Amino acid sequence: MLAHTDDWGSNMIAGARGHVGRFVCLLISLGWAVCLSTPSNAAADGPVLTSKRDIVIEAENYAAHRSARHVWRSRASERQSVSLGCEGTAPWVGRAAWIEFGSIGVDTPSEVAVILRYSKNSSGTQPVYIYVNDETTPRGEYSPKGTLSWNLFRQSTEINLGDVGHLNKIRLQVKGQQYGTIEIDFLRIRIKRWSVPVPSPAPFTMHLEGERANRYTTGQRIADSNASGGARLCHIGCASDGRAPRGGVLYYKDIHVTQKGQLVTTFRYSKNSAPTTPVSVYIDGQLRASFMPTRTGCWTGGASCYTTTDVPLGSVKAGTHDLTLQVAGQPFGVLDLDAVTLSLH
């Protein structure tokens, strides 16, 4: 079987006029031609693949290679193809080879496929492996079918390369076989399917100043430079004199939860009374949890007087909710509330 010797010399000469300085051509017997070259590199800013336009790249315009050979072919789109898989002289011993195309962009993350226009006039079904960027595992492979002549070309089926977020390199690689594995005229890259990832919603979190309850029947607003908003709601669970027990509720409305999830409420508070009276926590009028505030040793006097407690409230749907805190009365109060933070987990 002859390899790479079925092109017309006249085509080689005509094509060479348009590629002066790019190729070193070797004429061989019977007027046939083989042309080996060192190609010009692809432009630094390459084509961008979109849903409306495939990218077609001539094989000879690769950016990097190993053991690739340019061959003149009259039926190739630009009168030349790139041979992969064998030495450039008889007896055409098999040799591993690859070509790489760089600076390819994708405007939107997508599922991408490649189609090869190629010829093959050697036996066997050794595949062409296709790599994306610097990955060590091929994304796809294709076993070229014989075309009866190196100068007769056909197109491969679509070779799916899977999802790519930002595609900038494609490498075609073969292990090598006698007479060569494949000659590639060009490759066509196209988008098979949009696979735009749906961005995850930003994690929900909402901060409520304790002293800014929409309604409260226990507690007193008082300035405090160590509180998050410069004030706190004190005397919760006792009278305004800070001594006599008096229960009540705190009500916060218009809590807009952006997505369904497990709601956790974090309370920041101070406490210098016995931990004997719990705080009951309601969502939309439904009791979800209760917690016993921890004694911190002081009501005010510095940041060290404050602590936090996380209280899981279970699942909530996206939408608008309200939060209610309820306490029974306790001498000296149940807690002084600085802030409430709601978050989804």
Check residue 125 and give its pLDDT. 84
Unique residue bearing structure tokens 């595949």: 127
- CB-based contact 183:79 (threshold 8 Å): no
CB atoms within 10 A of CB 45: 8
> Can you point out the beta strands (E) in 3-92?
23-27, 33-37, 48-49, 55-58, 64-66, 69-72, 80-84
Establish how many alpha carbons lie within 13 A of residue 141's alpha carbon, considering only the half-sphere containing its beta carbon: 11
- CATH class entry, domain 9-194: mainly beta
Tell me if the domain spanning 205-344 has CATH number 2.60.120.260. Answer: yes
Hey, is 142 helix, strand or coil? strand
pLDDT of residue 204: 86
Q: What is the pLDDT of residue 201?
A: 62
The 8-class DSSP code of residue 70 comes to: E
Residue 261, number of CB atoms within 10 A of its CB: 17
164 membership: H or E segment, kind and range: strand 159-164
For residue 119 the two structure tokens come to 């010829």
Retrieve residue 154's tokens.
Answer: 């056909």
In whole angstroms, what is the distance from residue 298 CA to residue 83 CA?
A: 83
Q: In degrees rounded to 5, what are phi and psi of residue 98?
A: -155, 155
CA neighbor of 128 nearest in space, from 76, 95, 85: 85
- Other Cβ atoms within 10 Å of 19 Cβ, number: 19
Q: How far apart are CA 185 and CA 53, in angstroms?
A: 19
What does 221-245 look like in DSSP terms, one character per residue? EEE-TTSTTSEEEEEETB-TTS-SB
pLDDT, residue 28, reads 31
pLDDT at 43: 35
What's the pLDDT score for residue 184?
97
- Quick one: which of 99, 81, 89 has its CA closest to 152? 81
- As a whole number of angstroms, the distance between CA 4 and CA 183 comes to 9
Longest dimension (CA), the chain: 115
Q: Which residues belong to CATH 2.60.120.260 in the chain?
A: 9-194, 205-344
Q: Scanning the structure block, which residue is given the tokens 């490498």?
A: 171
pLDDT of residue 229: 86
pLDDT tens digit at each of 345 positions of the chain = 444 444 433 333 333 333 333 333 333 333 333 433 333 333 335 677 776 678 899 999 999 999 999 999 999 999 999 999 999 888 999 999 999 998 788 777 788 899 999 999 999 889 999 999 889 999 999 999 999 999 999 999 999 998 887 777 999 999 999 999 999 999 999 887 755 555 566 688 999 999 999 999 999 999 999 998 899 999 999 998 888 999 999 999 999 998 889 999 999 999 999 999 999 999 999 999 999 999 999 999 889 999 999 999 999 999 999 999 999 999 999 999 999 999 998
Kind and range of the H or E run holding 216: strand 215-216
Give the C-alpha separation, 215 to 329, whole Å: 18
Kindly state the helix (H) or strand (E) to which residue 185 belongs, with its residue range: strand 182-194
pTM of the model: 0.48
In the chain, DSSP finds a helix count (H) and a strand count (E) of 1, 27
Structure tokens given for 166: 């930002």
